[in-house]
Structure 1
Amino acid sequence: MQLSLLNLSYNEDNSSLDIFNIPNLEKAETLRKLAASMQSTIDQKKNPTIGNQRATKRRKTIAQGIIQEGIELEIIQSWLFAIAQMWEIGNIPPILRGISRKSQVEVLFRISKSGETSQKVQEILEGEYYQDWVKSLSRAGLNTLGEIISAITEIQQVVKPEAIDTTKQQLNKLELEIIGMKSGDFFPTPKPVCQRLVQLADIQANWRILEPSAGSGNIAEYITKTYSNVQLEVVEVNYNLRQILELKGFNLVGKNFLEFNPSHLYNACIMNPPFCELVEHIYQAWKLIISGGVLVSVVPESVFFNRKYQSFKEWIQSNNSYVELVDKDAFLSSNNPTNVATRIVKIIKP
């Protein structure tokens, strides 16, 4: 089966034959269900388990490819939702009325992605490998190159690329690049630890909160998802991590935390500081908290038995701190896993 080049654009005069363009809720619901059924696959691909395994170049490359597949499926899903809405409203162009399957929309998307010109699209569809595409579109009443191009154009006029699509791709790429990152004592905080840090902070409405050395934003994300009515500010020195924080929309107010000198103090500092500069970071955070404010931090277990931390341990104990053990395997689930034993320390400033 070959596509015809006799009609390179859909004849808009055909629309005059379609006097009654009325909604069809049954067709709308069918397409909407097809789109919704894609969600679990999209979620799995955009968060591949391979991305949480020990970092290697091969695994990063594979994970990036899987995430890109998820992004593309999300676009196909948006096309299905758009056609469903056209049916629901009753303004669907005749050229799209034969579409009834997800595979047909997927073919249109693949063609839009790979075909830069009409000639290129024709070359693709004349290839033996793509004859299943041709058959699928034929069942949708799209038999000529012009009809296929017109169908794609009609969908793209409704579903325009959003800036967030580019943002998501940049974010996914950067987050894969930091897996296994060795510089800067970087061990992202696992979700259960984030949850416990935030619980212990006992956050109140309208608090001003600081996360020093925010990394890729795990703690910050948990704070914002749990408390929408706080003012969260973050600091991070690493360039790639700063890019990630900016793409996630956090209020990045400083680079090197040890040189950070804000014009205001905070109700809380919630942190997982670099252990190589642990003491310096916690003392700096302590300076930036108001009287009655709270500091909650992850610290290594060695603080409580290594002689080099003797003065720091005494400082913690002298401030009526609360200390609890973290599960010994907690940080093995981090994107950069480590078996370092940790505790959480909470101190309220007098």
Structure 2
Amino acid sequence: MKAAVYSRPAKPLVIPVRRRRDFEALPKAAPVEIVAVDKATECHVTPPEVAARMVGYLDCIGDYQTLEPSAGTGNLSRALLAAGHSRYELTQVERHHRLASGLYQFGAVINRCFLEYAAEARGKVQFLNVVMNPPFSEVRKHVAAALSLMGRNGHDESPCLVALVPVTFRHPSAEELETLPSDTFATAKVHTKIIRIR
């Protein structure tokens, strides 16, 4: 073979490249919010589909004073807003500082123990609706405290409480709406049900 075959061209080889500008801009990826729940909080996060069903069991949605005790990560609050409830009529109580800081986007937040708040607020406020997933170890105290804050508050409709509770919970006025599977919560195998008290 001739040596000239292996020689480089006299001028550098240039390939013209045109820059294309007709590509659509890629949407910015929103960061996924990771909420780490401390074991000490006894916070069993209500799955979104369960929260939506719980809100559906309330008798009225809209401009009604509504209480979400032990609001946790806000799944019940999200479900309330998605159903058309007013964020200006929603009061959320959460004692865990970090969890409470993420709840302001949904409505008013009271950062303290719900039982303490209920003891002070009794007779001063009335909530037509309560939707709750209380700590299971003190479920009776939390449900009783929530009931003590309920009232018509000038509305014709009757007060309504919907709660996710252990299957062992009993209340003379409770209507059992559904029993949930034992794998409802990712962090605990608990037998639970949804009740309504009017």
Of 182, 189, 197, the residue aligned with 1:328 is: 182
Task: Say whether 1:345 aligns with 2:159.
Answer: no
Letter in 2 for 1:273: P
Q: Which residue of 2 aligns with 1:229?
A: 86
Aligned residues: 168
Task: Say whether 1:270 aligns with 2:131.
Answer: yes
Q: CA offset at residue 295 of structure 1?
A: 0.6
Q: Which residue of 2 aligns with 1:295?
A: 161
Of 179, 204, 219, the residue aligned with 2:61 is: 204
TM-score by length of 2: 0.76
Q: Secondary structure at the match of 2:181?
A: coil
Q: CA offset at residue 205 of structure 1?
A: 2.5
Q: Which residue of 2 aligns with 1:34?
A: 25
More helix by share: 1
After superposition, give the CA deviation of every residue in 1:150-202 in whole Å (9 maximum; x if it has no partner). Answer: xxxxxxxxxxxxxxxxxxxxxx4xx44x24x2012111111111011101113
Q: CA offset at residue 321 of structure 1?
A: 2.2
Q: Unpaired runs of 5+ in structure 2?
A: 1-20, 153-157
Q: State whether residues 322 and 347 of structure 1, in contact with CA within 8 Å, keep that contact through their aligned partners in structure 2.
A: no
Task: Say whether 1:195 aligns with 2:52.
Answer: yes
Runs of 4+ residues deviating >6 angstroms? none
Provide the aligned C-alpha RMSD in A.
Answer: 2.0
Task: Say whether 1:258 aligns with 2:112.
Answer: no
Q: Secondary structure at the match of 1:266?
A: coil
Of 218, 240, 243, the residue aligned with 2:75 is: 218
- Structure 2 distance, partners of 1:249, 1:346, is 23
Pick closer, same or farther for the CA change 1:205–1:284 going to 2, 3 Å. same
Letter in 2 for 1:209: T
After superposition, give the CA deviation of every residue in 1:8-30 in whole Å (9 maximum; x if it has no partner). Answer: xxxxxxxxxxxxxxxxxxx6xx4
Q: Which residue of 2 aligns with 1:241?
A: 99
- Structure 2 distance, partners of 1:228, 1:338, is 30
Letter in 2 for 1:232: L
- Structure 2 distance, partners of 1:320, 1:273, is 15
Q: CA offset at residue 34 of structure 1?
A: 2.4
Q: CA offset at residue 284 of structure 1?
A: 0.2
More strand by share: 2
Q: CA offset at residue 249 of structure 1?
A: 4.8
